[in-house]
Amino acid sequence: MTVLVTGNERKGGYPHKAVPFARSCGRSGLGTPSTEVPWTVSCSRMTALILRAEGLREALTSTGNGYLCARGAAEWEDADGVHYPGTYVHGGYNRETTILGGLPVLNEDLVNMPNWLVLQLRIEGGDVIRLADVELLGYRHELDMRFATVNRHLSFRDHEGRETTLHSRRFVSMADAHHGGIEWTLVPENWSGRVEVVTAIDGGSATPGSPATSSWKAAT
């Protein structure tokens, strides 16, 4: 999807500038309850300490409805040593027998379903934006427990000097157990031009360390 955006626009009711960041994370990097926004657990620093705890923070900011659950991974990140996108459904197990110590062992593993969270941003036909490739000006990752949403607010400057603010909001529906939704609000702070939002369903999802899930992935 290609969209034409112009500088200084306001979209979706968000303020023009990045919203003030909540208190920084504690020593663990897992996030602290915000005194500014009740019912919210947030983290506003992106450091090596935080990245080491990112997997646990993705788990803590998961959203679900009793049938479908999605980890709080960022939509633009692939599975790697830091990030682990995961979607699970009730009863979605795979059974596999493995040999451990010469003995057959039956495993039943919760299957990581195809990843529906994939959203990526391109500006003026350039490469997909990765946080590792831009200057991060501001960042907040939060779980809003009152509205059951996982939110990210980030501002960055790319190699062309373009400053952009992105607000991401995601939920899993309680009204319809088979549905979830993602909302992106993009604010070009000092530029105008065309952007592409790339969406996909990644069928290559796997559960690390699970032979049963690896077998299921190969079968698909």
Residue 147: both structure tokens together: 């509205």
Instruction: Give the CB-side neighbour count of residue 189, counting CA atoms within 13 A.
Output: 16
| Count helices and strands in the chain by DSSP H and E runs | 3, 14
Q: What is the pLDDT along the chain (220 residues), one digit of tens a residue?
A: 545 554 544 444 333 333 333 333 444 444 444 555 578 888 776 554 466 678 888 888 999 999 999 999 989 887 777 788 899 999 888 888 888 888 998 888 888 999 999 999 999 999 999 888 899 899 889 999 989 999 999 999 999 999 999 999 999 999 999 999 999 999 999 999 999 999 999 887 776 655 544 444 444 4
- Answer whether CATH 1.20.1440.130 is correct for domain 2-12+21-90+112-207: no
H or E stretch at 212:
helix 211-219
